[in-house]
Amino acid sequence: MNRLFKLLAVCFLFSSCTNKQKQLANEKNILGDWVTVNNTHGGLQPPLFLMPGYTFYANHTCDYKSGYYRYIPGQVHFYDQNESPGKTIYLGSMSEFKITDDSLKIFNPGTGKWNSFKIIRLSSDSLKLENKDEITVYNHLLPVKYKSMQFDEIIISTSECLGPCPISNTIINSEGAILFNGISFTSQKGLFTCNIPKEQYQRLQDNFCKSNIDSLKTNYTAGFTDGQKITATFVKDGKIYKTITDYGGKGPILFEWATVPVSYLYQSVPLKKINFPFFAQDSTNFISTKLRNGNKILDLKLSESFLLFDYLRNGKSSNTLFKERFNFRVYYYRDADTFYSLSTDGRYYKFIVKGKPVTIDIGFNFYDVNAKNWVWRKADKYD
């Protein structure tokens, strides 16, 4: 009997040591960045079509790249100006995790509960999890070597979609100043300013740098309709360094992940509401702009349009006479008509406000400085 007891004790100790070694190995192997390889992009939970992934840290915290959300529904009637759209509340991306034997648990701030996953496989380069009979496979992203760059400003704009996609514009500069324009499906609507520490700006900027901006294409497009378009403009030395358009979440993973915390930054900072410029009092649904020269059209991207809007916002009234080079057209959310009859030479912009001309001087020629980034097209009947 004594011998049997000793044998059972040895087996228990051996099993405990084995389980402990397995847990330690799992806790070591899970550290770093992981991205799904079999995600189906299901549902309409914002951000739409963003490739899920995690970063696991040694202190048992984790970063869920898609972020956690709480959606407050509204009464939406598409193309109805009296709609009451819902709101998407971003709860951040950071959470906690714990590993016991072959189980991974991650706390979900949205539900206030722990999500449990069975670890089917966990090695230094592969992770396979099971949750409610659904199996998800992740690949381990190797540490990225990237060129650290310093931008003057980063502008992120998000478009509408067939669903509750937040429509907004955000500018954040290297000093930490923020300009936010909430248009629809956002928890704040209107024009706002705020400031964040420079260190926080640096972290947000580094997220984009990790995607190796120089190597990115300027346009990524999914093969379906009614999706959301995200555009990002990077300004360096007073010029547009690059603009990237990502329709339907087809951009590189690291780039997509970097856009989320900027798009929802406004929900975690003390916003101060400001008025729209006197020459654009009704531009609360400001979306995009076009330049026209004869039968040629230049479509500014959403983020480029908002950058120009900010230059105009900070411009000064002027009596200077200028030679008009382009017609300047402004478009608004769910309104395809031009709100003002505008003209410009790239530096001076003439608005017609209450029947009278008003000229705004932005201090430099926005077109000439950035022309190399743009391609004109032939006008069509919709222009």
Q: What are the average pLDDT values for consecutive 10-residue runs of the chain, which has 383 residues?
A: 55 54 86 80 45 89 89 61 68 92 91 93 92 89 84 95 87 97 90 95 94 94 89 97 93 90 93 86 65 93 94 94 90 56 90 86 98 94 77
Residue 314's nearest CA partner among 267, 265, 349, 352 is 349
Q: Does domain 153-274 have CATH number 3.20.20.70?
A: no
Backbone region of residue 142 per phi and psi (left: phi > 0; alpha: psi in -120 to 50; beta: other values): beta
Across the beta sheet with 356-361, the strand order is 316-318, 356-361, 348-353, 342-344, 326-332, 286-293, 296-299, 377-378
- The pTM (predicted TM-score) of the whole model is 0.85
Return the exposure string of 139-160: e unless at least 16 CB atoms fall within 10 Å of the residue's CB, then b: ebbeeeebeeeebebbbbbbbb
| Residue 174 CB-density burial (10 A; 0-12 exposed, 13-18 middle, 19+ buried) | middle
Instruction: For the domain made up of 22-141, give the CATH fold.
Output: Lipocalin (2.40.128)
Q: How far apart are CA 314 and CA 307, in angstroms?
A: 11
Q: Do domains 22-141 and 153-274 have the same CATH topology?
A: no
Mode of pairing for the β-strands spanning 32-36 and 190-195: unpaired
User: What are the boundaries of each domain within the chain?
Assistant: 22-141, 153-274, 278-378
